[in-house]
Each structure stands twice: as structure tokens, then as C-alpha cells.
Amino acid sequence: MTYRSWLAMRDRCDPKNADKWPRYAGMYLAPKWQRFEAFLADMGECPEGHTLDRIQATRGYRPGNCRWATRSEQATNRCTTRFLTYRGRTQSMTAWATERGIPRGTIKARLDRYGWSVARALGQRPLPRRVRR
């Protein structure tokens, strides 16, 4: 799995593949990571259920900016992820929804549509669903 991840990384960063991977056009790849042995020495083996992730998407593939991450971790590591601070802790809206037992859509509507504060949106439990007869 580690070798395949390395190959995919190189493929995405190859200027000849810009039409295949437009989001990665011009993406930086550390010169030493052109060699699999150097990549492996810096990253180690890929743990089961993980894939290669850039911590800061704009900084490219380089030592110190890559990690092995789960799908969930990668989904949170996006520029579109909305982070909320509540009771001194900051985490994604999705993480708060899971922790507080409130549907993510409810939190989003409370903040965006109704203009609630974060404290009110996360502090107030949703009303129980009515059962249709």
C-alpha cells in the first residue's frame, strides 16, 4: 500500500499529467521523494485504513507536511471544512454534530438561516421528531 501511495503521489505531481489531475497542476513534490526509499524513510509504512494526506494543501508533498490519515481525518482537512469553537474547544461542525447528537444540517440552519450563536446552536438539543400517523 505504501508503494502504491507513493506512485499515485508522483503521478499527481507529474506536469505531464496536468490534464488528468488538474487540481494538482504545479503541485510541489520534494526532490528527495522522487526516490521511494527516501519517501519510506520519512513517512514509514502506511497503516491499514490510511492514505497519504497533506497537512497544509498548499504546501505540497514534502517531509513535515504529509501524514498517513483516515478518510475521516482527510474529510476534515479541507478548505471547505467549517470549524466552530464551543466551550473553549474547536472542532469541525461534523464532529460537533456527532458529539452533541444534533444533525449537522440542523446546526448549519441554526447558524446560517436563523442567525443563532454557536453556543445556542450547539447548546440546544433538537426537538424530538414527531411520528406521523
pLDDT in tens, 12-45: 888 888 888 887 778 889 999 999 999 999 999 9
How many structural domains does the chain have?
2
Q: Which phi and psi (to 5°) does residue 132 adopt?
A: -80, 140
Residue 65: the pLDDT is 95
Cell numbers standing for residue 89: 474547544
Cell numbers standing for residue 20: 488528468
Residues 55 and 97 reside in one and the same domain = no
Q: What are the tens digits of pLDDT across the range 52-76?
A: 999 887 789 999 999 999 988 887 7
The pTM score is 0.65
In a domain, 131, yes or no: no
In a domain, 59, yes or no: yes
Residues 64 and 110 reside in one and the same domain = no
In a domain, 54, yes or no: yes
Residues 8 and 49 reside in one and the same domain = yes
Confidence band, pLDDT 50/70/90 cuts, at residue 132:
low
Rounded CA gap, 117 and 97, in Å?
15
Q: Counting beta carbons within 10 angstroms of the beta carbon of residue 19, is it exposed (0 to 12), middle (13 to 18) or buried (19 or more)?
A: exposed
Domain that holds residue 35: 2-76
Residues 8 and 47 reside in one and the same domain = yes
Residue 74: the pLDDT is 86
